[in-house]
Each structure stands twice: as C-alpha cells, then as structure tokens.
Structure 1
C-alpha cells in the first residue's frame, strides 16, 4: 500500500459513498503527480484559487478512494469519457467499478458501485432566496406541492434535499440537461428517499434505489443507484495522519 492509500472497511456492501472534507487534504508534490495531464489542464483553467483547490483536492480524494478498491497506485489510474461525457475508469481497470463525484464548498462525495450506474450530489447549506420560485421552474408538480406545505424554516433544507435527490438520479443516468428535472418525482424529508414516479419514457431502468445521506447540519447529500433494493454505506475519508 502506497502513502495515503486507504484500507477498505471489512464487509463493505456493493455500493458506498465516501464523505470527504476537502479542507483537510494537503496537496504535496508527490500527490500532484497523481493527476493526469488533462486534470492538471482543467485545474489551471479555474480563475479563482478556491475553485481550483476544490477541483484538485476532490480529484486527489477520488484517486485515493478508487486506488483502495482496485489495489493500484492512485497515479496509475486513468479515466475515459463515456459517450454521454460521464467519466469512467479506463485502461486495465475499465468496467471494474462505477463511480461518481460531487463537491460543494468544503464537502465532497465519492460514490462507488459494482456493476451498475450510480450518481451522487451534495449541496452546502446556504441562503437560497426564493426557493419556491426555483422549484416552480424546475421541479415536478408533486414536489412543488409538498415543498409549499413546509414551514418557512423547514423549506430551504427540504428544497436542497429534493434538489440533491434529483441531481443524483440525473447523474446516475448520465443524461445531463437532456432529462428535465420535472419528468420524475422524488420524496422529500422526513420520509425515506424514493422515486415516486416517472413521466412515460423518462427512465430506461425500472428499479432504482435512492438514499438520503446524513452529512450533518452544513450540507445535504443523496445517492441514486440504478438497481432496486440496493443498500449503501456512508464512510468518512480519513484526513492526513488518520486511519479508518
């Protein structure tokens, strides 16, 4: 095991999400060499240092986590864009695992699945303005009605929960903006996360698992798995000097 790799938890399920504190990651010269030429070029295009750091640290974390599953050096991993643009493992690791990455503020989530599509989304709690106006522009009518029934104090976090659940589904599908967010309905807290309905022809997969991720008071997260009845463990990525 090379420096800064992780040992996988015993008895891990087929799917898992890793919660990463990006502020706890240190960029060292050795870790910088993990990044591909493409990743380095993408990082250099960010104008704001905090955006560049968020990109670099989240990709270092992604490589660290994947290397633990695959038993390979983080710098040896390569990624290819799929036809829909969603990155996937390339080279000798092609088709071994599916993954997805999301970050917001100092929080990042890395989702891992074996043999099925997976999507994850995280949003940091922050002032949002008129969430009902945003919901009416993007959400399913059932979600709008449910959100309107929440108190003013509950509404912002309920909105973020709905948003992350929908984004996780879209990211799992890899359809991007081609799938309207109002073409399917998800539940809102406090009930369990589920997909309640799809518009005709909207989903190529009939069985889905959707999970709310408890990230504390600062952020909201969700993971969508294109396989019914799938459990998902939530782990915290150890920071420098920590062990699992």
Structure 2
C-alpha cells in the first residue's frame, strides 16, 4: 500500500517572509512567477513554491535551495538530480491556501479551488465534463451548484494532474461522483486502481487528492504558520 502525505499551507505571509521564499527559488520559478500580472498572484506563487521546496527538502534531507525540479514527459513537475524518482509530488494553490502532496511508489495529483460565484457553471460542465456529471450537477438545488461545481472540478483535475497527461485526457473521458456525494470513480478511461479523497482546507475551499494506488493511506497535515522561518 502506497502512502501519501498532504499539507495544507497558509499563504498569508509578511513581506519579510515572502523575501525568504524568493531566496530559495530557482531562476525558472522566479521567471514563471514574474509572469503573473497581479502582485498578489506573484506573491502566492513564490510562497507556494517555497513551501513545496521546504516539504521536499525535509522529506529528502536536503536544503530547500538544493531541490532540483524538472518537467516530466507530460509536463508534470518531477524531481531531478540525485533525488530523481525518489517520490512523486504535486502542488495546487488558490486564494490564500496551497495544497501539497507527496507519495512514494505511486503517482499523486492534488487540486485546490477557492469557491466563488460562477454564473455559467452548468454551461461549463455540459461543455467539458462527462454527461452523467453534468446531469448530476444540474439536479442539485441552485444554492448547491457553485460549491458542487468546484468540488467536482478538483476531483477531475486531481486525476489529470496525477496522470501528468494535461489536455491529452479530456475531462469527459472519465466520470466521478458529484459533491455532496463522497469522492469515487464512476467510469475511468485509464487502467489501474485509485484512491480519491477530499481534503478540508477550511471554509470556502474545495480540494481533492488522487493517488494511483488502491487504498493508499493518506495523512493530512496543516503546515505551521511560522514555516518560512525554516527556509534558511
């Protein structure tokens, strides 16, 4: 049985803490962060990637700046250098939170979304999701559609991110249960068994972890608020 460790990270940091985050990133991470137009988005990018480096470093007994990250064949980030293949990981951030997952011996994907009003949730679902998912979403009370849509979105995205296939696996090629139903697969185009579970990231957030292993043990932790002090 493969084990997965999940961290919920608060990205509300002081200016000094953001500077500590910036110092451990590599040139590619800084460049991608600078492409965000809004300062708040650039700051969250720096903080979430620094937290990922810290979590990886502590799992591998390295310094955060020593972590080498590369893009895999499908574009999914993976470890490079001497740590190549040591574990699989994934990162997602939205609003003021980040979600980071590590797994040994199995692919992992995580997705986090801040729940917000969306006027065309049913149109998006019918255009991009499986027909049974769109129908289940449409059958919900109007007040439940927005949170269910984002919960469903994270379930779909976590699977796609675990596979590392990006748009090569269209979202209508597989179907999962729609919140408030517990997460489970209804139809899957890919071979293999999976563990799919929701993560509580606080009010106003939806989050899912997908591990390509049956009955993977998943431990969820909340990163201490002072985590940037451990970057040095």
Please indicate, yes or no, whether the TM-score normalized by the shorter chain is above 0.5.
yes
For residues 164 and 176 of structure 1, do their structure 2 counterparts lie closer, same or farther at Cα, with a shift above 3 Å needed?
A: same
Where in structure 1 do 4 or more consecutive aligned residues deviate above 3 Å? Answer: none
Residue 199 of structure 2 is aligned to residue 208 of structure 1: no
Q: Secondary structure of 2:45's match? A: helix
Inter-partner Cα distance in structure 2 for 1:161 and 1:110: 17
Which one of 86, 92, 117 corresponds to residue 102 of structure 1?
A: 92
Listed as ranges, the gaps of 5+ residues in structure 1 are 1-12
TM-score normalised by the chain length of structure 1: 0.88
Gaps of 5+ in 2: none
Residue of structure 2 equivalent to 1:17: 6
How far 1:189 sits from its partner (Å)? 2.2
Which structure has greater helix proportion? 2
Residue 90 (structure 1) aligned with residue 80 (structure 2)? yes
Task: Deviation per CA, 1:20-70: give whole Å up to 9, x if none.
Answer: 111136223x54321112112222222221121111011011011111111
Q: Does residue 27 of the first structure (1) align with residue 38 of the second (2)?
A: no
Distance 1:241 1:145, change over 3 A: closer
For 1:1-244, what aligned pairs fall within 5 Å after superposition?
14-24=3-13, 26-28=17-19, 30-198=20-188, 202-203=189-190, 205-240=191-226
Quote the Cα distance in structure 2 between the aligned partners of 1:134 and 1:84.
Answer: 25
SS at match of 2:154: helix
In 2: Cα distance, 1:234 partner to 1:87 partner? 21
Count residues with an aligned counterpart: 226
Cα RMSD after superposing both structures: 1.7
Shift, 1:241, TM fit: 6.9
Q: TM-score normalized by structure 2?
A: 0.92
Contact 1:24 1:240 survives alignment (8 Å): no
Change beyond 3 A, Cα 1:241–1:175: closer
SS in 2 for 1:61: helix
Bigger Cα displacement from structure 2, 37-46 vs 210-219? 37-46
